[in-house]
């Protein structure tokens, strides 16, 4: 565990064709991306979408849209985010499932989920997805904090107190997910502290098989 605590930003991507009952007859390719707060996964997702034709589904964006809808779930989600807590799996899985079903695309980049062991188990049980590999973004807490405080997006979770709560939740909940996949030899680590273009060069090497002109 110590070797991971010193590198708090984590990201993973898992690729798998889905053919289960969740989507009926629709066959899709799903890539999960998970990273510590401020690790740059949103930026890299945008690059992957542009170069490899995936539809980007951000678990965080879907949750924030639910908050804006004023629903009962939205009120609960807002309260949990302010406390730096993780939203129940069934809520996020339902939002992701609806987004996949209603999209015309068949390649999806999902970031921000799963974030803990229970998330992972629930998603695998519902979708029958077993990750093909894990993309691990490595970045220091100091760098992530600097990025979050500098982006000034006006989000409820972009203040120093909540940011540090999110770091704590990340260490306690998400690192075991990385350890689980590391035990299966499915982790590929990328240095997320490097400049964005350099990080994407590493990402492109992983996603090369999904390029439009790939055989």
More confident residue, 188 or 214: 188
Let me know: does 60 contact 39? Beta carbons within 8 Å: no
Q: How confident is the model at residue 44 (pLDDT cuts 50, 70, 90)?
A: very high
Residue 206 CB burial class (10 angstroms; 0-12, 13-18, ≥19): middle
120 appears as a binding residue in the annotation: no
Answer yes or no: is 3 a known binding residue: no
pTM > 0.85: no
Q: Per the annotation, does 207 bind a ligand?
A: no
The 10s digit of each residue's pLDDT in 140-198 is: 888 888 888 886 555 555 678 888 888 888 888 888 888 887 888 777 788 999 999 99
Residue 125, annotated ligand binder? no
User: Of 47-51, 68-72, 161-165, which gets the smallest average pLDDT?
Assistant: 161-165
CA dist list (Å): 161 to 10, 42, 85, 157, 158: 20, 22, 13, 9, 9
Q: Is 166 annotated as a binding residue?
A: yes
Ligand-binding annotation for 154, yes or no, is no
- Summarize the confidence of residues 72-96 as an average pLDDT: 86
From residue 123, give the alpha-carbon distance in Å to each of 68, 131, 201, 212, 213: 25, 11, 29, 28, 31
Please indicate if the annotation marks 42 as binding a ligand: yes
Q: Enumerate domains of the chain plus CATH numbers.
A: 2-208 (3.40.50.300)
């Amino acid at each position: 565990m110590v070797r991971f605590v010193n590198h708090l930003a984590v990201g993973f991507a898992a690729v798998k064709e889905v053919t289960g009952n969740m989507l009926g007859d629709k066959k899709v390719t799903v890539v999960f991306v998970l990273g510590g707060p401020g690790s740059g996964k949103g930026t890299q997702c945008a690059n992957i979408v542009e170069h490899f034709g995936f539809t980007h589904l951000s678990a965080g964006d879907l949750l924030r849209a639910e908050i804006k809808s004023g629903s009962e779930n939205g009120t609960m989600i807002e309260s949990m985010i302010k406390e730096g807590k993780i939203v129940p799996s069934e809520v996020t899985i339902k939002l992701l499932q609806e987004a996949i079903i209603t999209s015309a695309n068949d390649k999806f980049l999902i970031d921000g989920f799963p974030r803990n062991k229970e998330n992972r188990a629930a998603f695998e049980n519902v979708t029958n997805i077993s990750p093909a590999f894990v993309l691990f973004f490595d970045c220091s807490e100091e760098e992530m904090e600097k990025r979050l405080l500098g982006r000034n997006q006006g989000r409820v979770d972009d203040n120093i107190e909540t940011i540090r709560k999110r770091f704590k939740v990340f260490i306690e909940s998400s690192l075991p997910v990385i350890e689980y996949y590391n035990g299966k030899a499915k982790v590929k680590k990328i240095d997320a502290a490097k400049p964005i273009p350099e990080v994407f060069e590493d990402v492109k090497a992983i996603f090369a098989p999904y390029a439009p002109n790939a055989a």
